[in-house]
Structure 1
Amino acid sequence: MTVEENYRQIDENIRAACLRSGRRREDVTVLAVTKYVTVQTAREAVDSGILNIAENRKEGLIEKQDAIRDSRIVWHLIGTLQTRKVKDVVDRIDYFHALDRLKLAEEINKRKKTGKLKCFIEMNISGEATKHGISEEELDGFIDALGQLEHISVVGLMTMAPYTEDKELIRQVFRKLRRDRDRIRARKLDYAPCTELSMGMSHDYQIAVEEGATFVRIGTALVGNELRGN
C-alpha cells in the first residue's frame, strides 16, 4: 500500500476511536515517524497531507529538513537527545517529545535563541528498565524545577506503552499518563500549560486515542520501515 492509502486507513481508525470515546477527530494530530524511511518516502507523507514529521535522531532530522524544504511542515524530535547535540537542533524543531532531565532542559534553555520550545516531559509510566523517562513520583518536582527556564514551555506529557498484546495493560498506562497530565494542567502554570498527550504508536494508537492522545507517533503502519537494520 502507498503512504496515502495507509494514511487513509489510519484516519478511519482514528475517527472510529474518537467516535467510541466521544472525541473530535481534529483534536488528534498524526506524526509521521520517518526514522526508518528514505527522504523520498518522507516526501510522500508530506504530499499525502501529513505535515507533522517526526525524527528520533539529530542526523535524520537534519537530512530530512535539508531535502524537504516546505515551510508548512511542523518538525518534531521524539528521541533521546544528548546535551552536546542540543545546539544543533534546538532552533530546527517545533516540538521536543523527550524532555526527561533537568540538565537537558537547562541546555535547551541556554541554546534556544528566541521564543520557547514546546516540550513534552517523557514519563516511564510502565516502569520498564529499558525505557527512558521520569517516574510519576518525580513529575511535580521536575515541573517545579523548570519554572525558571524562560525558553521552555511544557505543553504536555509523553510515554511509550509496553509492546504487548495485553490491551488492558496498554490502556492502564495511557490512562495514568492522562491523569498525570490533568493534575499538572490543573495547576495552571504559565510555563507548563500541559494540555497535550503524546502517546500511541503503530500497534496501539487506537487505544491511545480512546484514552485522550492528542499526538500519535506512527511509523511502520504509515510510512513503513525500509531502512531498518541498514
Structure 2
Amino acid sequence: MHEQYAHMICERREEILARMDAAVRMSGRTLDDVELVAVSKTVGIPEVLAAIDAGYRTFGENRPQELMRKLEGLGSIVDLPSVRFDMIGNLQTNKINATLGRVKLIHSIGSLHLAEAVSSRAARRMEAGELKAPQPVLIEVNVSGEETKGGFAPNDLRRHMDQLQNLCGIDIRGLMTMAPRGNKDVARSCFSDLRDLRDELAVSSGLALPELSCGMSEDFEAALVEGSTIVRLGRVVFDPMFEVL
C-alpha cells in the first residue's frame, strides 16, 4: 500500500473520530457508546490492512463472496490484530449459509421471509454444534418510505414483531435504516423516527434493542445526535477524493 494512502487513512480517522466525539456529546454520550464500521465493500485487502494499521477493527461487507475473499486474505497474515466483519447489504437467501459464522452482526434483515430463513439455518447450525448461539441481527426499517429502499415499513414491523422475536435462530439487537441522501434535515428526522420506533418496540416486545445502525459518510453526525450506536462509513474512510466537510 502506498505510504501516502496509508497516511490519508490515518488522518481521516482522526478527523472522523473528532467529528463523532462532538456529535455523541450532543446526545449525552461518549465515543465508547458507538461502534464505527469501516465499509470495506469497494476496496481490496491492502486498503483494509491500511485501515487496520490506522486503528479500525470492524468492517462491513455486502457480498458474501467478497467477505470470504477478505477473510481468507487476512487469515494468512501473521500477528494481525483481531478484527470483525458485519454483513451490511441485501442478503439473498442462497447466501445465508456463506454468511453465518463469518460475521458478527447482520444489519439488513428486511423481511419476515429473510428473518425466518436466517433463523432456520442458524438453528440447524446450532443443533449441529457449528454455531454457539443465535445469529445477532438488526431489523432493517424503511423509515423514509422510499420505493428504492428495502426493509420493513414501520407499521409492518409493528405487526410482525411478535413473529420475529419468537424466531429461535436469531438474536434481534436493534434496528437499521438508511436516510434519503442530499438533505441533512430530512436525514435527521429519519433517524429520530427510527429511535422513536425502537423505543416503542422495546416497550411492546420486552426486548432491549440496544443498537441503532444509521448514519453514513454524508450524515453520520446527524445520526449520532439522534442516538445512533453504529455508523457505517465507507467513502469518508477510504476515498481520497471524498470531500471532508
> TM-score normalized by structure 2?
0.86
Select the residue among 215, 235, 245 that pairs with 1:220. 235
Mind listing any 5+ residue stretches in structure 2 that lack a counterpart? 1-6, 126-130
Counterpart Cα distance in 2 of 1:201 and 1:225: 16
Q: Larger Rg: 1 or 2?
A: 2
Matched ranges for 1:1-230 at <5 A = 2-69=8-75, 70=80, 72-112=82-122, 113=125, 114=131, 115-164=133-182, 166-187=183-204, 189=206, 192-224=207-239
In the alignment, residue 158 of structure 2 is paired with which amino acid? Answer: D
Q: Structure 1 residues 10 and 86 mapped into 2: Cα distance closer, same or farther (>3 Å)? A: same
Please tell me the root mean square deviation across aligned C-alpha atoms, in Å: 1.6
Secondary structure class of the residue paired with 2:55: coil
Secondary structure class of the residue paired with 2:159: helix
Q: Is the 8 A contact 1:37 1:225 kept in 2?
A: no
Q: CA deviation at 1:67?
A: 1.0
Q: CA deviation at 1:74?
A: 1.9
Q: Give the percent of matched residue pairs that are identical in Structure 1 and Structure 2.
A: 34
Counterpart Cα distance in 2 of 1:225 and 1:187: 45
In the alignment, residue 84 of structure 1 is paired with which amino acid? Answer: N
Q: Is the 8 A contact 1:37 1:224 kept in 2?
A: no
Q: CA deviation at 1:141?
A: 2.2
Secondary structure class of the residue paired with 2:46: helix
Q: CA deviation at 1:205?
A: 0.3
In the alignment, residue 22 of structure 1 is paired with which amino acid? Answer: G
Q: CA deviation at 1:142?
A: 2.3
Counterpart Cα distance in 2 of 1:154 and 1:208: 20
Q: Is the 8 A contact 1:121 1:156 kept in 2?
A: yes
Q: Is the 8 A contact 2:121 2:169 kept in 1?
A: no
Q: Is the 8 A contact 1:57 1:79 kept in 2?
A: yes
